[in-house]
Amino acid sequence: MPLYKTIAVNSQTTVKIWKITESFNALMAPLNLKTESLERVGAMKSELHRSGFISIRHLLAEFGYEDTDLFYDVNGKPHLKDGKHISITHSFTFSAVIIGNSEVGIDIEKQRKKIAIIAKKFIGYEFKYLSETDKDYVKKLTVIWGIKESLYKLFATPGMLFKTHFLVIPFSIKDQQTVAWIDYKDRKYRYDTHFLEFEGFTCAYVSV
Answer yes or no: are the C-beta atoms of 130 and 178 closer than 8 Å: no
**Is the pLDDT at 1 greater than 70, yes or no?**
no
Confirm if 88 and 97 have CB atoms less than 8 A apart.
yes
pLDDT, residue 208, reads 84
Q: Rounded to whole angstroms, how far apart are CA atoms 16 and 64? A: 12
Are the C-beta atoms of 147 and 193 separated by less than 8 Å? yes
Helix (H) or strand (E) holding 195: strand 187-198
Provide the residue ranges of all domains of the chain, joining segments of one domain with +: 3-102, 109-199
Residue 74, pLDDT above cutoff 60? yes
Residues 6+ apart with CB under 8 A from 174: none
3-state SS, residue 71: strand
pLDDT of 117-133, one tens digit each?
Answer: 999 999 999 999 999 99
| pLDDT at position 131 | 95
Lowest mean pLDDT among 38-47, 80-89, 198-207: 38-47
Question: What are 141-155's pLDDT values in tens digits?
Answer: 999 999 999 999 998
Q: What pLDDT shows up at residue 85? A: 97
Q: Tell me how far apart the alpha carbons of residues 163 and 96 are, in angstroms, rounded to a whole number.
A: 25
Residue 32's pLDDT is 85
Please list the residues that pair with 191 across neighbouring strands. Answer: 180
Q: With contact defined as beta carbons under 8 Å apart, do 19 and 4 qualify?
A: yes
Ramachandran assignment for 156, one of left (phi > 0), alpha (psi -120 to 50 degrees), beta (any other): left
Is residue 139 packed enough to be buried (19+ CB in 10 Å), middle (13-18) or exposed (0-12)? middle
Q: CATH number of 3-102: 3.40.50.620, 3.90.470.20, 3.40.50.720, 3.30.200.20?
A: 3.90.470.20
- What type of residue is 125? Y
pLDDT tens figures, 149-192:
999 999 888 888 999 999 999 999 999 999 999 999 888 999 99
